[in-house]
């Protein structure tokens, strides 16, 4: 088996668009919306989720033949909670400000549906390497949506990207104003809805009747 055979490539790349966890599978929406008012926390959140999903997938996949079926949810939760605790301590140590902004949402990675969804649907039935790729793919698919939403909300809402001013002062002198509504929670939903609209008009087979 090559490092990236045809099937493995599909496992890794599929979730980026065709099978995206957020806009197609409808998983992990809670955190996708809440942390995206700025670009930086979106990126950090995307990376944290990718790391947790990938490693939780590997661990569960290694254990998959020894876990009794009836208590598997609790085992999965314990594995996730341990990984998330590690991530949250790391963030506290190296990126304290971002950690402050993400507040409870780091802890909420445990109940992120992407995590449980992938563990249930993929890691329980596949080998560790494939599960690892699946975790990376889904984490990045989630991250991409977060980054797109964060990009637009920060650009239109405060005229900055990663905290740097990108809209020149001259625009403001002409009467351009930041759209404060973009910072508020409800606009995240509308931005995601627009992404879904664009994505589905390009992939006709995803449309619902």
Partner 1 sequence: MEELLSTFVRSVFVENMIFAYYLGMCSFLAVSKNVKTALGLGIAVTFILVCTLPINYLLENYVLKEGALSWLGARFAEVNLSFLSLLIFIAIIASFTQLVEMVVEKFAPALYASLGIFLPLIAVNCAILGGSLFMQQKAFANVGVASVYGLGSGIGWLLAIVGMAAIREKLAYSDIPKPLKGLGISFIITGLMGIGFMCFSGLKI
- Residues lying near partner 1 in the complex (CB under 8 A) are found at 23, 26-31, 33-34, 73-74, 77-78, 81-82, 84-85, 88-89, 103-104, 107-108, 110-113, 116, 184-190, 192-193, 196-201, 207-209
The least CB distance from residue 144 to partner 1, in Å, is: 17
Largest CA-CA distance found in the chain, in angstroms, rounded: 67
**Which of 160, 179 has the CB closer to partner 1?**
179
The least CB distance from residue 184 to partner 1, in Å, is: 7
The least CB distance from residue 58 to partner 1, in Å, is: 20
How many residues make up the chain in this entry? 209
CA 75 to chain CA centroid, nearest Å: 23
**Which of 88, 160 has the CB closer to partner 1?**
88
Which residues does residue 164 pair with via DSSP β-bridges, in sequence order? 161
Alpha helix (H) residue ranges in the chain: 6-13, 29-34, 39-63, 72-94, 96-102, 104-107, 113-121, 128-158, 169-173, 185-202
**Which of 39, 83 has the CB closer to partner 1?**
83
Residues ≥6 apart with Cβ < 8 Å to 52: 80, 83, 84, 87, 109, 115, 139
Structure token pair of residue 181: 């509504």
The least CB distance from residue 102 to partner 1, in Å, is: 11
**Which of 148, 167 has the CB closer to partner 1?**
148
Unique residue bearing structure tokens 């959140």 = 45
The least CB distance from residue 135 to partner 1, in Å, is: 17
Unique residue bearing structure tokens 């033949």 = 65
**Which of 156, 161 has the CB closer to partner 1?**
156
Please provide residue 165's backbone torsions phi and psi, each rounded to the nearest 5 degrees. -70, 120
């Amino acid at each position: 088996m090559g490092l990236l055979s045809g099937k493995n490539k599909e496992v890794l790349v599929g979730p980026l668009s065709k099978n995206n966890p957020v806009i197609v599978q409808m998983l992990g929406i809670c955190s996708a919306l809440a942390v995206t008012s700025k670009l930086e926390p979106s990126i950090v959140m995307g990376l944290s989720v990718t790391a947790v999903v990938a490693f939780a997938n590997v661990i569960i996949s290694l254990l998959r033949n020894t876990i009794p079926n009836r208590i598997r949810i609790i085992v999965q939760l314990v594995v996730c909670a341990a990984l998330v605790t590690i991530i949250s301590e790391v963030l506290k140590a190296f990126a304290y400000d971002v950690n402050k902004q993400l507040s409870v949402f780091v802890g909420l990675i445990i109940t992120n549906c992407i995590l449980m969804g992938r563990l249930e649907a993929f890691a329980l039935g596949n080998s560790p390497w494939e599960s690892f790729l699946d975790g990376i793919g889904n984490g990045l698919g989630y991250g991409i949506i977060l980054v797109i939403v964060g990009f637009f909300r920060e650009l239109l809402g405060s005229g900055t990207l990663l905290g740097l001013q990108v809209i020149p002062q001259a625009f403001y002198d002409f009467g351009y104003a930041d759209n404060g509504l973009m910072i508020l929670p409800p606009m995240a939903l509308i931005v995601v809805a627009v992404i879904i609209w664009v994505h589905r008009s390009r992939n006709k087979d995803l449309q619902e009747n």
